[in-house]
Amino acid sequence: MSENRKLIKIATAGSVDDGKSTLIGRLLYDTKSLTTDKIEAIERSSKQRGYDYLDFSLATDGLVAEREQGITIDVAHIYFNTEKTNFIVADTPGHVEYTRNMVTGASTSQVAIILIDARKGVIEQTYRHFFIANLLRISHVVVAINKMDLVDYEEDVFLKIKADFDVLVAKSDFSEDQINYIPVSALKGENIARQSDEMPWYVGNTLLDHLEVLEPKDLEESTVARFPVQYVIRPKTEAWHDFRGFSGMLYGGNLKVGDEVTLLPSLNTSKIKSIHYFDQQIQEAEPGSSIAITLETEVDLSRGDMLVKSGELPTSEKRLTATICQVNNKPLRVGGKYILQHGVNRVMAKVEQIESRIHTDFTGVEDADQLKMNDIGKVHFRLNKPIHYDSYHSNKSNGSFILIDEAEFDTVSVGFIE
């Protein structure tokens, strides 16, 4: 990374047997990211199972339970790089009951690859995967139409699936230029890293070329600066006697020395005196920087508070409405109390009303009195203290939260604020 390779984060989604693990294994193999000992292990395992081909899915299916069942059951992170780009793949399973895994994987990704089996076309699962990509506002979606080798590499099959998918795109918030279609055979390596001779009718990029031309800048939203205070640095040494650095990660927009800032919740104002990155003082920081900030005036500011540019204040409210995805076995119920973690800030939250359960196939909503694991619904909350938020639509990092069970401390829900 020191070589200034860019970083692209990808989530993959596909139904069982769409060949997702094979696709990832193929990407690893074709980018020479699999080492000899790993390839040997794959050859050995493939042989033991009596396959006459290399089972690349064995490169990614991690846990013993999964190897026994032959399906992936959780989010696995896989890394590979090319000369120019570092990739992180969050491999999420496509089972109907595993919405939570795809939401989890997609929450840290900029790009989603949705796999479709060319023989089956757009199925209910595809709707759900695309729905989640839409809900999480993934910046770019690649629709990889796989197993083209099993439909004789027919262009008509590809076009039919593309037309079906376009219908979904029209129902979503995506614009057409955020979606790309690529016909591939992961097993044979067609249009993965190598342009396919079998599909001369396809003139676009291979999957890898396509992923490589994406620019992280274009995939990150640019909005207003949000600086949640994570940890207050007080060295209490002779040399740094009066130093009080407010450390944290900067989101959304730049901050620079001299900026007029407003502190939340106090609404006090001050000016940025210095910005520190380790032993360097810098003039200005870009979003995504882990920095420490000092202010011109003595202020009361601690973990969970927020620093923003004056004139760019977020909403500060004790009530909010959010789309919730339930990620735990315990259902979300009206009247339920939770610890709400918004960035690094924690407050108590009570469920006032569950407005609806949302169909994840773009067919509307229904009434609900609880949200079970993998359900998505619209929920109204009341908080014991205001939080300083933006809508998820305008600011992902400041528009999302998790709910923590009061008794078990498990993470039970993720919320996207309206």
Partner 1 sequence: MNNLLIPNPKEAESIHIIREVAAQFERPVLLFSGGKDSITLVRLAQKAFYPARIPFPLLHVDTGHNFPETIAFRDKLVEELGLELIVRNVQDAIDQGKVREERGRYSSRNSLQTTTLLDAIEEFKFDACIGGARRDEEKARAKERVFSVRDDFGQWDEKNQRPELFDMLNGKIHNGQNVRCFPISNWTELDVWEYIKTENIEIPSIYFAHEREVFLRDGMIWTANEHVFREDHEEVQVKMVRFRTVGDMTCTAAVFSEAVSLDDVVGEIRDSSISERGARIDDKRSEAAMETRKKVGYF
Binding residues for partner 1 restricted to 347-376, rule: CB under 8 A: none
Q: Minimum distance between the CB of residue 206 and partner 1, rounded to whole angstroms?
A: 23
Q: How far apart are CA 278 and CA 285, in angstroms?
A: 13
**Taking CB under 8 A as the rule, does residue 64 contact partner 1?**
yes
Question: Considering beta carbons, is residue 230 or 268 the nearer one to partner 1?
Answer: 230
Would you count residue 27 as binding partner 1 (CB under 8 A)?
no
Q: What number of H helices and E strands is found in the chain?
A: 8, 24
- At CB < 8 A and 24+ separation, what contacts does 71-79 make? 71/16, 71/95, 72/20, 72/21, 73/98, 74/101, 75/101, 75/104, 75/105, 78/24, 78/28, 79/33
What are the start-end ranges of the E strands in 290-344? 290-295, 306-309, 315-326, 332-333, 337-342
Stretch that binds partner 1, among 112-120, 203-211, 241-249, 311-319 (CB under 8 A): 241-249
Which of 76, 145, 301, 351 is in the footprint of partner 1 by CB under 8 A? Answer: 76
Residue 239 as a binder of partner 1 (CB under 8 A): the answer is yes
| Cα(323)–Cα(357) distance, integer angstroms | 9
Stretch of 73-81, 116-124, 262-270, 358-366 lying at the interface with partner 1 (CB under 8 A): 73-81
Tokens of 314: 């977020």
- Per CB under 8 A, contacts with partner 1 among 300-319 are 303
How many beta carbons lie within 10 A of that of residue 79, not counting itself? 10
Of 186-194, 260-268, 352-360, 410-418: span binding partner 1 (CB under 8 A): 410-418
68 within 8 A of 51, measured Cβ to Cβ: no
Show the site string, 90-109: x = touches partner 1 by CB under 8 A, - = not.
----------xx-xx--xx-
Question: Do 360 and 396 meet the contact criterion of CB atoms below 8 Å apart?
Answer: no
Tell me the window of 15-23, 118-126, 238-246, 348-356 that interacts with partner 1 (CB under 8 A).
238-246
# of chain residues touching partner 1 (CB under 8 A)? 79
β-bridge mates for residue 290, sequence order: 249
Only one of the segments 119-127, 177-185, 194-202, 244-252 lies at the binding site for partner 1 (rule: CB under 8 A); that segment is 244-252
Tell me the CA distances in angstroms from 370 to 155, 351, 357, 415, one per residue in order: 45, 10, 8, 15
Site for partner 1 in 146-205 (CB under 8 A): none
Instruction: Please tell me whether residue 330 binds partner 1 under the rule CB under 8 A.
Output: no
Spatial distance between the Cα atoms of 352 and 321, rounded to a whole number of angstroms: 10
281 or 297: CB nearest partner 1? 281
Instruction: Choose the binding region for partner 1 from 143-151, 172-180, 230-238, 379-387 (rule: CB under 8 A).
Output: 230-238
Distances (CA, A) of 302 to 232, 264, 307, 321, 344: 7, 10, 10, 26, 11
- The secondary element (H helix, E strand) that includes residue 76 is strand 76-81
181: DSSP letter = E
> What is the closest distance, in whole angstroms, from the C-beta atom of residue 301 to partner 1 in the complex?
14
Residue whose CB is less far from partner 1, 249 or 383: 249
Over the window 377 to 396, marking each residue x when it contacts partner 1 by CB under 8 A and - when it does not, the resulting string is -------------------x
Which of 197, 215, 237, 364 is the binder for partner 1 (CB under 8 A)? 237
Task: Report in angstroms how near the CB of residue 140 gets to partner 1 at its nearest.
Answer: 17
Residue span 265-294 as binding mask against partner 1, x where in contact by CB under 8 A, dash where not? ----------xxxxxxxxxxxx-xxxxx--
Would you count residue 240 as binding partner 1 (CB under 8 A)?
A: yes
Nearest distance, CB of residue 250 and partner 1, angstroms: 8
Joined tokens for residue 24: 């990832």
Distances (CA, A) of 387 to 119, 234, 303, 380, 393: 49, 25, 13, 14, 17
Residues from 134 through 153 that contact partner 1 (CB under 8 A): none
